[in-house]
């Protein structure tokens, strides 16, 4: 029987570990960083294209501050890394890296928002690791998604907390709100039947977020265990399907596709053309 504890096994570093996971696992001193291992693997996939860019990152909920060290080591060319926490003890956090800034306060209060936006009014990555309460999650997304740069990534962590206290049955939970985004990104196919305002009725007021959603800035949404990932479009559009591309000249099973190619069948609403 191995004398390695389950906790030590959890922190064995294998060749399969990506850079984010390695940096986290190799941290043995300094500020504490508390992340689920599955998150680190997702971050390695999401952030790889951005690793060497001059990105701007904002994290809500930094606790002991170790995650900000993690991001500074991973994003070596980052311009600015901002952390926000409601705990007044976070005033004691200090960093040798001048790129790291800590704002203490409720991220959803106007004065805190002003402090954050004075440091940076645009971000490539926003991570919500705050209270994990639906009202705070919705407010934070409402307030900070407009600060996300085109092509940026907004991540909500620890969404398993939303299932506590009968969360599955709560029709106004943050999870219920984001599930609607599966319909939102397909708006071009139901826009003649309803509106985005009706879809999101009761969740968001007529704010800048609603304007951005109406304009088509939400590119996609991804649900993972305890994580929600929202990507922002490079340019706003609801025509997300794009053009249909048909190549080749032989259609022995169904020649209808060639008629579509030649422009003889045009409507996507015709089920016979969907295959």
Whole-number Å distance between alpha carbons of 141 and 129: 12
Whole-number Å distance between alpha carbons of 81 and 54: 11
Whole-number Å distance between alpha carbons of 150 and 217: 8
Q: Which residue has the tokens 């826009």?
A: 191
DSSP characters over the chain = -----HHHHHT---TT--HHHHHHHT--SSS-----HHHHHHHHHHHGGGTTS--EEEEE--TTSHHHHHHHHH-TT-SEEEEEES-GGGGG---S-TTEEEEES-TTSHHHHHHHHHH-S-EEEEEE-S---HHHHHHHHHHHGGGEEEEEEEEEE-GGGGGTTTGGG-TTSHHHHHHTHHHHTTGGGTTTT--HHHHTTTT--SSHHHHHHHHT-EEEEEEETTEEEEEEPSS--S--S-------S--SS-THHHHHHTTS---TT-GGGT-
Catalytic residue, from 24, 132, 160, 238: name it: 132
Query: 101 an active-site residue?
Result: no
Alpha carbon separation from 192 to 187, 196, 239 (Å, rounded): 9, 11, 14
Q: Which residues are designated catalytic? A: 132
């Amino acid at each position: 029987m191995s004398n390695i504890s389950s906790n030590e096994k959890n922190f064995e570093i294998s060749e399969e570990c990506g850079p984010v996971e390695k940096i986290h696992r190799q941290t043995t001193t300094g500020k504490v960083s508390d992340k689920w291992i599955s998150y680190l693997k997702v971050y390695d996939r999401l952030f790889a294209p951005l690793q060497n860019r001059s990105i701007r990152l904002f994290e809500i909920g930094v606790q002991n501050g170790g995650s900000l060290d993690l991001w500074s080591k991973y994003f070596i060319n980052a311009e600015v890394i901002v952390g926000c926490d409601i705990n007044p003890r976070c005033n004691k956090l200090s960093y040798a890296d001048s790129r790291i800034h800590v704002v203490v306060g409720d991220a959803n209060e106007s004065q805190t928002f002003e402090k954050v936006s004075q440091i940076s009014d645009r971000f490539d990555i926003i991570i919500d690791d705050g209270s994990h309460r639906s009202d705070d999650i919705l407010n934070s997304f409402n307030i900070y998604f407009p600060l996300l740069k085109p092509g940026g990534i907004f991540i909500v962590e620890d969404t398993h907390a939303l299932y506590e206290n009968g969360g599955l049955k709560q029709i106004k939970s943050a999870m219920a709100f984001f599930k609607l985004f599966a319909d939102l990104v397909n708006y071009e196919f139901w826009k003649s039947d309803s509106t985005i305002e009706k879809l999101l009725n009761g969740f968001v007021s007529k704010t800048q977020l609603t304007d951005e959603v109406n304009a088509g800035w939400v590119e996609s949404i991804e649900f993972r265990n305890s994580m929600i990932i929202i990507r922002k479009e490079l340019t706003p559009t609801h025509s997300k399907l794009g053009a249909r591309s048909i190549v080749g000249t032989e259609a022995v099973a169904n020649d209808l596709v060639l008629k579509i190619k030649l422009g003889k069948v045009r409507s996507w609403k015709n089920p016979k053309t969907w295959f």
